[in-house]
Amino acid sequence: MELREKLMKIFKLSLLIVIIMSSLFGCKAKDEEAPVITSVSLNEETIIVEASDNIEIDGFLIQEFSERPILITAENENWQSDNKLITTEDGTYYVWVKDSSGNISEYDEPINITLHLAKRFDHLNWLTPAEGTKVVDGVTYNLAELKAEYGDLYRFAEPLTEEEIESRFEYIAKFFEVLKENRSKYIGDVPWYILGGVKSRPEFDTYISEFRDRYCEKLATTDDELLSNFNGYFGYSETFSSYVERMPESFTSQLGYRGVGTDIIDEVSFSEKDFFVRYFTNEYEHFVRLYEQFNLKIEYPIENLD
């Protein structure tokens, strides 16, 4: 009898423990409430994410994508504990937050970073003409001789590879998007003569007009082997009573200045890209000479976006 009573006591005690454990843990609802992103802010190149959750924030995911991914999982290897990301490249970034139960936040707004492009707009790279000799398509060119022969129009005669033209047009398209996006904040009303990426000044106006009249007429009428490919982009305007440039009809971008942006790259022909790359660099060189002529420091419309 004594043994039976002991066994009953043990059984009751075990049953009590089971009941207590069940009441504490067995009926607890699974956490299915996702975190909520309360704010996303930019501090120069740093994306900062703030969020809240009913239990605990467990990770932040900040990544660059051209389009928002359809599926993001809690197992993604790029989750981080820090709510800040210092970006190193321009692009479109998206953010997510997850909690300790693996629930992931919803946030559809992209964060567009263009700061790095503007800071990297170094006018001393390919905008500065190369020296020495250059081989393009198996032909060796003496660049000093070409510069002496073509003078102000050298950049239209400069030997360029197909890759150089394609990559430089894309570069200009991206820069023109930065110009358009920030023109009111950083450069006010965009001057008409901004194509070379250099600010114009009132004292340049007469010289710019004379320069444009001269080279536009030359390019519209020349039969020179290296320049005649660009005849169609220049012509005489009755309205202005002078020769002017004619921008390609394919320049219809709504993202970039003067209709040039990344959204039209695939619609622009190679010859049109070739023309505009040369036109841009030719404009730049002329403005550089004007700044030197007036003994002024060159000013760019965008140097920093701080």
Q: What is the pLDDT of residues 95-124, one digit of tens each?
A: 999 998 889 997 768 887 766 655 665 555
Residue 201 domain-assigned (yes or no): yes
Q: Are residues 87 and 105 in the same domain?
A: yes
CATH (domain of 96):
2.60.40.10
Q: Are residues 71 and 91 in the same domain?
A: yes
Residue 305 domain-assigned (yes or no): no
Q: Are residues 124 and 151 in the same domain?
A: yes
Higher-pLDDT residue of 79 and 180 is 79
Least confident of 36-40, 78-82, 85-89, 210-214: 85-89
- The answer to whether the CB of 44 falls within 8 A of the CB of 306 is yes
Q: Are residues 182 and 241 in the same domain?
A: yes
Q: Are residues 82 and 182 in the same domain?
A: no
**Position 139 confidence tier, pLDDT thresholds 50, 70, 90:** very high
Q: Are residues 86 and 131 in the same domain?
A: no
Does the pLDDT value for residue 262 go beyond 70?
yes
- In this prediction, residue 234 carries a pLDDT of 94
Q: Are residues 159 and 248 in the same domain?
A: yes
Residue 129 domain-assigned (yes or no): yes
Residue 303 domain-assigned (yes or no): no
- In this prediction, residue 271 carries a pLDDT of 96
- In this prediction, residue 14 carries a pLDDT of 60
Q: Are residues 127 and 183 in the same domain?
A: yes
What number is the average pLDDT over the span 193-215?
79
Of 81, 113, 145, the one marking the end of a domain is 113
- Identify any residues that bridge with 63 across adjacent strands, giving them in sequence order: 94
Least confident of 38-52, 178-192, 231-245: 178-192
**Position 192 confidence tier, pLDDT thresholds 50, 70, 90:** very low
- In this prediction, residue 70 carries a pLDDT of 75
Q: Give dist(CA 300, CA 194) in Å, integer.
A: 9
Residue 299 domain-assigned (yes or no): no
Of 181, 211, 178, 222, the C-alpha closest to 279 is 211
Q: Give dist(CA 54, CA 56) in Å, integer.
A: 6
- Identify any residues that bridge with 98 across adjacent strands, giving them in sequence order: 59, 104
Of 113, 145, 160, the one marking the end of a domain is 113
Residue 106 domain-assigned (yes or no): yes
* SS3 of the chain: helix, strand, coil, percent, to 5: 40, 20, 40
Structural Rg of the chain based on CA atoms: 32
Does the pLDDT value for residue 256 go beyond 70?
yes
Q: Are residues 200 and 278 in the same domain?
A: yes
Domain count across the chain = 3
Q: Are residues 80 and 153 in the same domain?
A: no
Q: Are residues 129 and 193 in the same domain?
A: yes
Residue 298 domain-assigned (yes or no): no
Does the pLDDT value for residue 185 go beyond 60?
no
| 71: Cβ contacts below 8 Å, ≥ 6 apart | none
- In this prediction, residue 304 carries a pLDDT of 45
Of 44, 78, 113, the one marking the end of a domain is 113
Residue 301 domain-assigned (yes or no): no
**Position 306 confidence tier, pLDDT thresholds 50, 70, 90:** very low
Q: Are residues 168 and 271 in the same domain?
A: yes
Q: Where in the sequence is the domain holding 125, given as residue range(s)?
A: 116-293
